[in-house]
Chains A and B, each alone.
Chain A
Amino acid sequence: MLSALLLLVVQTASAAEQPIGFSHTAHIEKASMQCTDCHEGATSRDSAGLPSIRKCMLCHQFIATDLPEVVRLSKYWERKHEVPWERIYGFAKTAAVQFRHAPHARAEIACSQCHGDVASMTVAVEAVTHTMGSCIQCHRDNSATDDCLACHF
């Protein structure tokens, strides 16, 4: 119980303040969408990417238009603004890390391995802490390279 409470505190602490309370679980569990429907680059590019508001509005011009968060979304749309999403994952510039999503997707590393069970989250939180130790452990477990140059250049 205590650890669960602690986890909740940690999760709340790491949850970024998002402009819209986007529910991952509603899209993945209820609407049966895939992560890559919105984070298009995850399997093919360096960066998974955040979707443009145009992508949101493909559906939300017609679907669930009366929900409060969707109303907030359409206000951005009317003002012709992108939603200023806060990134919750990424490496500090000083870490000099070059991460590529595509080769990890090709190696069939599930999104949840590095991003946690996003499918059950409402607003995404930083559920997994990325450290060099965790990266190297996974690389070794999967007989991937552990050359420093693989990531640091």
Chain B
Amino acid sequence: MAKEATQQAEGGTERTPQWAMAIDLDRCTGCEACVLACASENNVPTAGEDQAAMGRTKHWIRIDRYYEGEFPDIKVKYRPVMCQQCDEAPCEPVCPVNATYQNAEGLNVQIYNRCIGTRYCANNCPYTVRFFNWFAPEWAEPLNLQLNPDVSIRPAGVMEKCTFCAHKIKRAKLDADAEGRELADGDVQPACVQSCPAEAMVFGDMTDPDSKVARQLGSGRSGQLLESLGTKPRVFYLEKAD
């Protein structure tokens, strides 16, 4: 769970949301709209044809495919995988400079300008969702004009990964604050959740019993990826129990 000390330092009496995501695998069609939305929202560069052929692509979210049965009686299952925002994240204790840590809201944070690029975190991540910038990212004109100003461009030498769209969380909080109201369920929609045509993904505060995500978690269908490792991810996958 969130670190108490950090929570106190945040000050104020406001409730600290605990962000979580539920992904309904029975709804996911593997269309990869989330992958595209994530890349454009978070300024994730494309690797190019040659580099991609060598497996050097960078995706904050990917779709894993699982095949069940033999052709022609085959069933394909899709699983969107991004940073699982673990409560017991294996990436955090191995960072020598504290560039990655869990904040009071349960987000596994990556601070780019603190990162010195040891890459220990990526090596220790069982979900292989961390990516190292070997080179400075480049966008061929005019693609450089579509970059999202709310998200920093990661320079060469630092690690990056899914942030649960931390900038959109921030934006939603500021908007709510400007309107003088509390953050409501559904105000925060990470790019993947927003773009999912099958509405397979739900994001919200899992400690709010009325939130969509809390209801999904209590549905009895939810599980976590590589649960046995004890990483306690904040991403939950919903599947029909066999």
List residues of chain A with CB under 8 Å of any chain B CB: 44, 93-98, 100, 102-103, 106, 143-150, 152-153
Contacts and interface: CB of A to CB of B under 8 A. Distances in A.
Contacts of B153: 93
B178 A98 contact: no
30 contacts: A93-B152, A94-B113, A96-B112, A96-B113, A97-B152, A98-B150, A98-B152, A98-B170, A100-B174, A102-B178, A103-B174, A143-B11, A143-B12, A145-B9, A145-B10, A145-B11, A146-B9, A147-B6, A147-B103, A147-B109, A148-B103, A148-B111, A149-B107, A152-B113, A152-B114, A152-B152, A153-B152, A153-B163, A153-B166, A153-B170
Interface of B: 6, 9-12, 101, 103-104, 107, 109, 111-114, 150-155, 163, 166-167, 170, 174, 177-178
A146 B174 CA distance: 16
A148 B103 CA distance: 9
Given A96-B152, A98-B167, A153-B151, A148 B114 contact: yes
A58 B163 CA distance: 45
Q: Is the interface of A mostly helix, strand, loop or mixed?
A: loop
A75 to B, nearest CB: 30
B104 A147 contact: yes
A143 B10 CA distance: 7
B168 to A, nearest CB: 10
Contacts of B104: 147
A77 B150 CA distance: 32
A97 B177 CA distance: 21
Given A96-B152, A143-B11, A153 B167 contact: yes
Counting chain B CB atoms within 10 Å of each CB, which of A103, A143, A150, A153 scores highest?
A153
B6 to A, nearest CB: 7
Given A96-B112, A145-B10, A149-B111, 14 more contacts: A96-B113, A96-B154, A100-B174, A102-B174, A103-B174, A143-B11, A143-B12, A144-B11, A145-B9, A147-B6, A147-B9, A147-B103, A149-B109, A153-B166
Nearest to A144: B11
A146 B163 CA distance: 18
